[in-house]
Amino acid sequence: MTSDAGRATSFLEVWRPGGVEVVLLAGPSMTIGRDEGNGVVLDHDGQVSSLHAVLQSYGASWAIRDLGSTNGTVVAGERLIAERALRHGDAIQVGATRMVFRGAAGRAAPTTAPRKPPELTRRERDVLLALCRPLFSGAVFTEPATARAVAAELVVSEAAVKQHLLRLYDKFELDPASTRRRVELANAALQRGAVTPADLT
């Protein structure tokens, strides 16, 4: 019973051209691909293979494995080379499609309203948009923009961008010890609505 309850509250946020779709994860496994027979059908994305990846249930936990897809699968900025356990909040890139895993332990139910974004200055919002833009570029294996790339887009110094990023890390309450705060900031900005797909496409 515990594992079924755990599965019921694990889900994917699938970022489609028309907005975010919530897909509940259920059963022992769920496939991702372009064909209609998959549990998560991504027929809008030509970079996704017919049968691209599989999500595997282990009690209340889930793992993901690439199924020899043409363009690969990226989790938290790293290309999959073997099955990988998913953690709550992991960003998954399949073709040009972004998904976010929400685990049972991380959130009670998909109906829980996300926290509102913090108040941002106009420049902080510009930095967030530039940071997140590569995630919706359609390129494979994308990560958020570097401080240097953000500085080039906004025509400001890299030092100024880093100062804005430090304030944004603080406003979004990210762990100062993390080595992947840019990725975490981009995820938090998208999850909490500070940046939307419509802003970036």
Integer Cα distance of 86 and 101 in angstroms: 7
Integer Cα distance of 93 and 139 in angstroms: 10
Please tell me which residue, 105 or 14, carries the higher pLDDT value.
Answer: 14
Integer Cα distance of 50 and 33 in angstroms: 5
* Residue in this structure with the two tokens 């051209």, named with its chain if needed: 17
Q: 9 pLDDT band (50/70/90 cuts)?
A: confident
To which H or E segment does residue 161 belong?
Answer: helix 158-171
Contact yes or no for 12/25 (Cβ under 8 A): yes
Among residues 123, 112, 137, the alpha carbon closest in space to that of 191 is found at 112
122-132 vs 147-154: helix crossing angle, rounded to 10: 120
Integer Cα distance of 27 and 31 in angstroms: 11
pLDDT at 88 over 50: yes
27: left (phi over 0), alpha (psi -120 to 50) or beta: left
Q: What is the pLDDT of residue 112?
A: 44
Mean pLDDT over each residue of the chain, to the nearest integer: 85
DSSP category for residue 71? S
